Structure formats: structure tokens, C-alpha cells
Amino acid sequence: MTCDSVLKAIPLYFYGELSPAEEESVEQHLHECAACARQMEQQRALAAGLDRRRAEVPTMLLEDCRADLMAAIQGGAGAAETPAASPWKLFLHALEHSFSNWTRYRQPVGAVALLAIAFFAGRFTQTQPGLSSASLATPSEPAFSTVRSIQPDTAGGVQIALDETRRRVVSGRMDDQNIQRLLLTAAREDNPAVRVESVDLLKSHSDSSAVRDALLNAVAHDPNDGVRLKAVEGLKPLAADPDVRKVLAQVLLADNNSAVRMQVVDLLVEHRDDAIVGVLQNLMQKENNSYVRLKSEKALKEMNASIGTF
């Protein structure tokens, strides 16, 4: 066996996941190779450190975690009836972060078992604040842990360095500057559900120029239809503003969602100006939504403009 394949096999060996033949070749290699034997020692020290804490895990909790794991594997979500089931998500999250570059440990069951022990210990200490001195997460605030290094010491202990990202809950009123700043950041998050929610809250505060810019940016560039619709709603009070109209005109000509175009055409024809004529004439060349066509046609007629450009 090569050193590389032995290193891959060590966690599996440790948790009895290897076939007898594989076990034998690992053992043989460990006898001959000091570097790999050291790795094995580290594994042993790590497991010993974790095992000391595993001893206190109640069976019910293990059952619980197993159910959560099955739910996470099958449906991508924790068990529905346990609102505090998110520790599994935390664990899977930590796993993903810690091991995204450590791909060789991703699939093996043994490696998962190793991490699961760390996780059980973390979850267990969450319910026992007195034991939290070395826990992966404090009882009140979930933390996403990334393991940076593992150092066994000579006394059979181990030092594990973690980076933790802690989740905070910030609450306040909508007119709070800090809340608004956070909502503006949320309007650029990857998660479209978060963007819809934040634009929905921001839309009643379009008197702030930062909010106005965020709404304009969302209506022109957000890939999510729901976010763009909310942003159009928020721009309603600003439909007479020339800068806003310029952006809305571009959206009317470019947006492929007819619900968005319907909202935008309503806003634009409500406040008429000369620039709108050209936009509507352009639109009539290609618009296939009958509501948008009707609205545009009516507005052009009322402005005594021809329906075609030529």
C-alpha cells in the first residue's frame, strides 16, 4: 500500500470499516512506515480525546441524532418534529466547511463516524452549559465550526483549533440605521428568499436614497422575479422621478417576466412625459402580453402619438 492510500484508510481502520485483508495491509504498512504510524497515533489521540466526552451521551440522544441524520440524508432537512434539530445542520455545515478541501475523508463512513462523535459531544454539551468549556457550540448561540488544526500532546490529550462563525440575532425597528444597513446587505444575499424578504421590508422606506438605489438595483438586475416585483412596488412613490423612470423604461423593454412588465407599464403611464412615447413605441414592436400592449396603446393614443415608430 502507498502512504497516500494508508492515510485514507486510517480513519476507516480505526472504526473497523475495513475488510480483514485491508486491515492487514494497513497494519503491515504501519510497521514499516514511521510517518504513517505517527498519523495513526494522532488518530488514536484524537479519538481518545473525543471518547472521554462521548461516554456521557444518553442513548436517546444518539437515537435522535440518527433520526436527524437519516432525515438529512433523505430529505436534506432535519427531523420535522424536533425544532431544535438544527444541530445536525450545524454539523453537516461544519463538515462541509472543515472538509471541503479534505475530499478524501468525505465519503468514508468511518470519517463520518469520527466527526459524528465530535458532533455528539458538541450537541450534548449544548444541553449541559456546565460542560461548555470545550464545546463546539455554546447553548444559546449556534456556531459553525471549521477545524483548522489537530495537535495531540504526549499526555494522550489533543488540542483542536477551531474557527467559529457565530449566528447573531439583531432586532430593532425599521427606522433604525443599523437595521436598514443590514437589510441593504441582505438585499444582495445569495439566498433569493432573504432578498425577497429584505426588499419587501425596504420598499416602504424608499425616501432614503440608499434604499432607493437598492430598489433600482434589484428591479434592474435581480434574477428572481419575486424580488423584482417587490422592488417595483417599492418604487411606486418615486414613479415621477426621472432617474427612476429611466431605469423602469429599461426594465419594461428588457424584463422577460410579463408580471413585472405589467407593473412597470402601470407606473410609467401614470406619470406621462415625452420620453415615455419612444419607450412605448419601441415596446409595441415586440410586446406579446395583451395587458401591456393595451396599456401602452391607450397611453400613446392619449398622448396623440402614433402606435408604430414609423
Give me the residues that bind Zn ion (CB under 5 A), please.
3, 33, 36
How near is the Cβ of 2 to Zn ion at its closest, in Å?
7
Q: Which is nearer to Zn ion, 33 or 239 (CB)?
A: 33
Is the CB of 36 or the CB of 143 nearer to Zn ion?
Answer: 36
- Of 3 and 84, nearer to Zn ion (C-beta) is 3
Shortest gap between Cβ of 33 and Zn ion (angstroms)? Answer: 3
| CB-based contact 49:114 (threshold 8 Å) | no
Q: How does DSSP assign 27-84, residue by residue? A: HHHHHH-HHHHHHHHHHHHHHHHHHHHHTT--HHHHHHHHHHHHHHHHHSS--TT-GG
3-state secondary structure of 248: helix
Q: Which is nearer to Zn ion, 4 or 141 (CB)?
A: 4
Q: How far is the CB of 76 from Zn ion (least distance, A)?
A: 38
| Spatial CA neighbour of 299 closest among 281, 287, 145 | 281
Closest separation between CB of residue 157 and Zn ion, Å?
Answer: 25
Q: Are 18 and 26 in contact (CB under 8 A)?
A: yes
* Helices first, then strands: H and E counts in the chain: 14, 2
DSSP H or E stretch at residue 133: none
Q: For the CB of residue 24, give the shortest distance to Zn ion in the complex, in Å.
A: 15
Give the amino acid at 285: Q
Instruction: Judge whether 172 and 201 are in contact, CB under 8 Å.
Output: no
CB of 13 to Zn ion, least distance (A): 13
Q: Find the shortest distance in angstroms from Cβ 14 to Zn ion.
A: 16
What span, in angstroms and rounded, lies between the C-alpha atoms of 147 and 137?
Answer: 13
Cβ 68 to Zn ion, closest distance in Å? Answer: 37
Task: Identify the sign of the CA torsion 174, 176, 180, 183.
Answer: negative
3-class state of residue 175 by DSSP: coil
**Are 296 and 265 within 8 A, CB to CB?**
yes
239, 252 contact by CB (below 8 A) = no
Residue closest to Zn ion (Cβ): 33
Is-contact 137 122, C-beta < 8 A?
yes
CA distances from 295 to 61, 109, 113, 261, 269 (A): 62, 62, 63, 11, 8
